[in-house]
Amino acid sequence: MPYAAVNGVELHYRIDGDRHGSAPWLVLSNSLGSDMSMWTPQVAELAKHFRVLRYDTRGHGHSEAPKGPYTIEQLAGDVLGLLDTLKIARAHFCGISMGGLTGIALAARHSERIERVVLSNTAARIGSPEVWVPRAAKARTEGMLALSEAVLPRWFTAEFIAREPLVFGFIRDVFVHTDKDGY
């Protein structure tokens, strides 16, 4: 598994498509409580047109989870550091939820590095401290399994869960194994 030392943290990443080709770069950024695997269903098709760079956001997947809290500026800096490490001058960027917040920061503050940005299921501000502080405390004290019962039903309908139990099980497994401090 490839890792890059970026801003004092080891980030796990993966490249799909012809890394040394001439296709444009596309960076895919995961949501809170997930990892790069959330993009697996789209990668084969995207890799026909792009050199696809996926990474696990700090605190998620196989990337390190340094003591937090983390800021959006740090998350955007991690992407810039990863681009620098891989010698990628400009890239398209697609982020969902927390990854979308990262994309907003990149587009607003580092437009010279970002060709186009796709923001999905995100906003300039998601929630408030009144929502996030108790959720983070619950993750730390009770673990991600306890948190999954409240969070995952907001991501998926009951019909989807019944129709796609293997897909839901995979996503639940990633969420439950997210580092509780990284979350």
Q: Which residue has tokens 């990284």?
A: 182
What region, left, alpha or beta, does residue 8 occupy, with left being phi > 0 and alpha being psi -120 to 50 degrees?
Answer: left
Among residues 9, 6, 4, 1, the alpha carbon closest in space to that of 179 is found at 9
135-180 confidence digits (pLDDT tens): 989 999 999 999 999 899 999 999 999 999 999 999 999 999 999 9
Q: What is the pTM of this model?
A: 0.94
- Please report the pLDDT score of residue 151 as a whole number: 92
